[in-house]
Amino acid sequence: MKVIEGNFLTDKSDQYAIVVSRFNEIITGKLLEGAIASLRKHGVDEKKITVFWVPGAVEIPLVAKKVAKSKKYSAIITLGAVIKGQTQHFDYVCSLVSSGVSAVNLEFEIPVVFGVLTTENMEQAFDRSGGKMGNKGHECAVTAIELVSLLKNI
Amino acid at 18: I
Is 89 an active-site residue?
Answer: yes
Which of these, 60, 81, 61, 76, lies nearest to 129 by C-alpha position?
Answer: 81
Task: Give the burial class of 101: count Cβ atoms within 10 A of its Cβ; 0-12 exposed, 13-18 middle, 19 or more buried.
Answer: buried
Which of these, 103, 15, 90, lies nearest to 60 by C-alpha position?
Answer: 103
Task: In angstroms, give the least distance from the CB of 101 to ligand INI.
Answer: 13
Name which of 6 and 56 has its Cβ closer to ligand INI.
56
Amino acid at 110: I
Cα separation, 106 vs 88, whole angstroms: 30
**Residues that contact ligand INI, how many (by CB under 6 A):** 15
Task: Identify the three-state secondary structure at position 144.
Answer: helix
Spot the catalytic one: 66, 72, 89, 152.
Answer: 89
Name which of 7 and 95 has its Cβ closer to ligand INI.
95
The per-residue DSSP string of 50-85 comes to EEEEESSGGGHHHHHHHHHHTT--SEEEEEEEEEGG
Residues 77-116, mask of contacts with ligand INI (x by CB under 6 A): ---xxxx--xx-----x-----------------------
Residues 24-63, mask of contacts with ligand INI (x by CB under 6 A): x------------------------------xxxxx----
Task: In angstroms, give the least distance from the CB of 24 to ligand INI.
Answer: 5
Active site residues: 89
Binding site residues, ligand INI, CB under 6 A? 21, 23-24, 55-59, 80-83, 86-87, 93
